[in-house]
């Protein structure tokens, strides 16, 4: 006999399922189970001992107009449910699989306890109060979905069996933690949007949409927005929202999902108060792919409205802009950003290729030019003249079309700083980039590098601290010794903390190796640098670090071997002369070191950015040739 889901709390074995609150407990302790697996459990408990077909479950979980891979989604939901119950498909205790038909709940149900009827929720209570008039292509609901298994499709909200549940849950969450209000949210993190297509090959699209939403929100000067590098660490995490909020030091968290099918894209998003896990707002948006930028702006506007963030006229204009883009162009752009964020050499080349293909399709798409510019700035396998000339050209072209692109200003600033040695022009562009996007951690970090080169150490440290606040888990941000001064133990501790979060970060191992070397712990430094070399596939900068440390601790043969590796590598790709100079400095061979430094200056190697401040070259500074090189670069003595 079927048990009415809205009126029962059902016990079986050591479990209790509260169909009103959507909670599963074991021995009285709550078990984490997301909504789609719980919906499957509810359907099975309503018909104990009976077959619930796959078609019935699909109709219950997804409306007919939802474009999602039913098979993948249903299989995943059942798998998650079995994991929560510690059940086995081969030897089931609770859920029996009937191949090609469906599932059956086979355990005995102990009792069904009546509970109070759910409160009635009006459509107005479910309506998003801060989003203005709805676009005819946009439907809005207020769904309290969880991170891993977000409800795939806004049509679920209008199902008779689900409306009362979602409304009740929303009112329950809104009635808790009343000590905080949306207006108190001044720091926010956007977690990776879930890819609900069932195709892992579409992850780049969901990640790109996450990146775009972060970029939109990051331009709000009154709001602190955590950078993508840190939030991506929580992709598919099992951590609770309060845990994430505490680690990132934010008040609010945006989470959601993306479903893309052909030329249509839909975004489900919700805003949660991090400390209390209190639901604040949720909505669903659907557009043609060509209108996806307007969709992203609308989501950002809704978040800003809910937290009552202060906006400048320029920020208001940015969020209200309407822009269409060729769908294939936008897809290529998202692929480019996906690869750029990986930062390894092969991925950087792929990112440039994707951006350039986007430009070929749409020659007036400014964002793709900005992507090319930033990708060439970090590309180091070609001579500086090639990379920075391409970066400047792309940045200028992007700014001709859209002067408000912070990424283009940032790339131009780095080019003027690292290659042109135009100190005044570089600072102007860095400041412009930060003004346009105050939460751009990469701009703050590069500006800090500029300030340190200029001898403005206190200002550099402040910029680095700000960058680290915006990107606290990044292995790259604040990775250099300039952030810590002579606090080597603190630097070591922070590096170890970062490695706990990402044990395969070569940049963090470089940071750790530098700290050990500066402290004179050469054995530990060598071990860290060897790990960095292996993780970076023998990148020149990692080899140079290792070779220099071999040299200063008396391992001459090993240092010379590294020089040989760099010479061999230079036959296949660009290797900066600065790396050779560094190792020869460690060996005490000043004449040879200055010969290589002369070459580095002639090629305008980006590594010269640390020429004036790097502690590795300290024993060269009393030499007249050092001052001559400073004059050539145009740096103060």
Q: Please give the pLDDT value at position 509.
A: 92
- Mean pLDDT over each residue of the chain, to the nearest integer: 82
Distance CA 193, CA 236 (A): 10
Q: How many CB atoms lie within 10 A of CB 326?
A: 15
Distance CA 548, CA 553 (A): 9
Distance CA 507, CA 492 (A): 13
CA distance readout (Å), 218 to 101, 227, 370, 431, 435: 49, 8, 17, 15, 11
Range list of β-strands (E), 124-202: 187-190, 194-195
pLDDT confidence band for 435 (50 / 70 / 90): very high
* Residue 438 scores a pLDDT above 50: yes
* Residue 533 scores a pLDDT above 80: yes
* Residue 586 scores a pLDDT above 90: yes
* Residue 622 scores a pLDDT above 60: yes
Q: Which domains does the chain have, with CATH numbers?
A: 5-113 (1.10.10.10), 120-324 (3.40.50.10610), 325-437 (1.25.40.10)
Q: Please give the pLDDT value at position 609.
A: 79
Q: Which of 97-111, 339-353, 575-589 has the lowest mean pLDDT?
A: 97-111
Q: Please give the pLDDT value at position 70.
A: 59
Q: Please give the pLDDT value at position 141.
A: 34
Break the chain down into helix, strand, coil percent, rounded to 5: 55, 10, 30
In degrees and rounded to multiples of 5, residue 52 shows phi and psi of -105, 115
Q: Please give the pLDDT value at position 513.
A: 93
Q: Which of 66-70, 189-193, 250-254, 255-259 has the lowest mean pLDDT?
A: 66-70
Distance CA 312, CA 303 (A): 16
Q: Please give the pLDDT value at position 625.
A: 94
pLDDT tens digits for range 58-82: 888 776 544 445 566 788 789 889 9
Q: Look-up: residue for tokens 């984490």?
A: 32
Q: How many CB atoms lie within 10 A of CB 51?
A: 15
Q: Which of 92-96, 263-267, 397-401, 423-427 has the lowest mean pLDDT?
A: 263-267
* Residue 370 scores a pLDDT above 80: yes
pLDDT confidence band for 560 (50 / 70 / 90): very high
Q: Which of 60-69, 270-279, 343-352 has the lowest mean pLDDT?
A: 60-69
* Residue 483 scores a pLDDT above 70: no
Mean pLDDT for 74-92 is: 86
Report which DSSP code applies to 234: G
Q: Please give the pLDDT value at position 484.
A: 72
* Residue 116 scores a pLDDT above 50: no
Q: Please give the pLDDT value at position 623.
A: 93
Q: Which of 126-135, 544-553, 556-565 has the lowest mean pLDDT?
A: 126-135
- Structure tokens given for 334: 């998202």
- SS3 readout for 488-511: HHHHHHHHHHHHHHCCCCHHHHHH
* Residue 119 scores a pLDDT above 80: no
Q: Which of 30-34, 79-83, 110-114, 632-636 has the lowest mean pLDDT?
A: 110-114
Q: Please give the pLDDT value at position 217.
A: 92
Q: Please give the pLDDT value at position 63.
A: 60
* Residue 123 scores a pLDDT above 60: no
Q: Please give the pLDDT value at position 296.
A: 87
Helices (H) and strands (E) in the chain, counts: 26, 14
Whole-model pTM: value is: 0.70
| Whole-number percent of the chain with pLDDT over 90 | 42
Q: Please give the pLDDT value at position 146.
A: 38
* Range with the largest mean pLDDT of 26-35, 191-200, 428-437, 619-628: 428-437
Q: Which of 4-13, 88-97, 192-201 has the lowest mean pLDDT?
A: 4-13
pLDDT tens digits for range 446-476: 999 999 888 898 899 899 889 989 988 776 6
3-class DSSP assignment, residue 105: strand
CA distance readout (Å), 609 to 136, 260, 454, 588: 53, 44, 10, 22
- Structure tokens given for 99: 């191949």
Q: Please give the pLDDT value at position 183.
A: 46
pLDDT tens digits for range 138-169: 333 333 333 333 333 333 332 322 332 233 33
On the CB side of 21, CA atoms within 13 Å amount to 15
Mean pLDDT for 90-110 is: 87
Helix (H) or strand (E) holding 436: helix 423-436
* Residue 182 scores a pLDDT above 70: no
* Residue 131 scores a pLDDT above 90: no
Q: Please give the pLDDT value at position 155.
A: 36
Q: Which of 46-50, 116-120, 589-593, 617-621 has the lowest mean pLDDT?
A: 116-120
Q: Look-up: residue for tokens 């403005």?
A: 456
Residue 27's region, left for phi above 0, alpha for psi from -120 to 50, else beta, is left
Cα dihedral 27, 28, 33, 38 sign: positive
Report which DSSP code applies to 471: S
Distance CA 330, CA 212 (A): 11
């Amino acid at each position: 006999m079927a048990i009415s889901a809205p009126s029962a709390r059902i016990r079986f074995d050591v479990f209790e399922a509260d169909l009103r609150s959507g909670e599963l407990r074991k021995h009285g302790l709550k078990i984490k189970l997301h909504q789609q697996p719980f919906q499957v459990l509810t359907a099975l408990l309503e018909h104990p001992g009976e077959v619930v077909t796959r078609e019935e479950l699909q109709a219950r979980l997804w409306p007919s107009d939802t474009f999602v891979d039913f098979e993948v989604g249903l299989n995943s939901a059942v798998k998650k449910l079995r994991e929560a119950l510690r059940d086995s498909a081969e030897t089931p205790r609770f859920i029996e699989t009937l191949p090609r038909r469906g599932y059956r709940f086979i355990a005995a149900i102990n009792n069904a306890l009546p509970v109070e009827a759910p409160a009635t929720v009006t459509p107005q209570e479910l309506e998003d109060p801060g989003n203005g008039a709805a676009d005819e292509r946009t439907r809005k609901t207020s769904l309290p979905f969880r991170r891993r298994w977000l409800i795939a499709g806004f049509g679920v909200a209008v199902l008779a069996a689900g409306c009362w549940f979602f409304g009740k849950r929303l009112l329950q969450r809104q009635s808790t933690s009343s000590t905080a209000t949306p207006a108190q949210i001044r720091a926010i993190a956007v977690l990776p949007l879930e890819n609900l297509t069932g195709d892992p090959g579409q992850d780049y699209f969901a990640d790109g949409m996450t990146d775009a939403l972060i970029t939109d929100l990051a331009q709000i000067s009154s709001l602190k927005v955590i950078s993508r590098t840190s939030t991506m660490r929580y992709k598919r995490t099992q951590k609770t929202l309060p845990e994430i909020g505490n680690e990132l030091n934010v008040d609010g968290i945006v989470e959601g999902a993306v479903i893309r099918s052909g030329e249509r894209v839909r975004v489900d998003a919700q805003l949660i108060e991090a400390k209390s896990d209190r639901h604040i707002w949720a909505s669903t948006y659907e557009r043609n792919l060509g209108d996806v930028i307007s969709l992203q702006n609308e989501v950002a506007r809704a978040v800003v409205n809910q937290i009552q963030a202060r906006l400048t006229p320029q920020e208001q204009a940015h969020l209200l802009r309407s822009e269409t883009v060729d769908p294939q162009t936008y897809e290529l752009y998202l692929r480019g950003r996906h690869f750029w964020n990986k930062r390894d050499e092969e991925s950087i080349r792929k990112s440039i290729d994707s951006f350039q293909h986007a430009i070929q399709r749409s020659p007036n798409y400014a964002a793709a030019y900005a992507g090319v510019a930033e990708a060439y700035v970090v590309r180091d396998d070609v001579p500086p003249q090639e990379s920075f000339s391409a970066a400047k050209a792309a940045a200028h072209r992007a700014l001709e079309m859209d002067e408000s692109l912070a990424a283009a200003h940032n790339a131009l600033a780095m080019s003027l700083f690292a290659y042109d040695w135009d100190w005044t022009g570089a600072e102007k562009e860095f400041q412009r980039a930060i003004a346009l996007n105050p939460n751009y951690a990469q701009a703050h970090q590069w500006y800090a590098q500029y300030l340190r080169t200029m001898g403005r150490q206190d200002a550099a440290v402040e910029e680095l601290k700000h960058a680290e606040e915006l990107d606290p888990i990044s292995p790259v941000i604040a990775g250099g010794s300039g952030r810590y001064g002579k606090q080597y133990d603190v630097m070591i501790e922070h590096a170890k903390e970062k490695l706990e979060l990402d044990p395969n970060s070569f940049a963090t191992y470089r940071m750790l190796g530098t700290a050990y070397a500066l402290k004179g712990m050469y054995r530990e430094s060598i071990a860290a640098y060897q790990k960095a070399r292996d993780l970076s596939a023998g990148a020149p900068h990692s080899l140079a670090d290792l070779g220099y440390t071999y040299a200063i601790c008396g391992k001459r043969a090993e240092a010379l071997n590294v020089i040989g590796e760099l010479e061999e590598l230079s036959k296949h790709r660009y290797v900066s002369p600065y790396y050779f100079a560094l190792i020869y400095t460690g060996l005490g061979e000043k004449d040879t070191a200055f010969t290589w430094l002369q070459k580095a200056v002639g090629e305008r190697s980006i590594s010269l950015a640390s020429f004036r401040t790097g502690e590795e070259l300290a024993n060269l500074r009393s030499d007249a040739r050092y001052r001559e090189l400073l004059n050539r670069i145009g740096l103060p003595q």
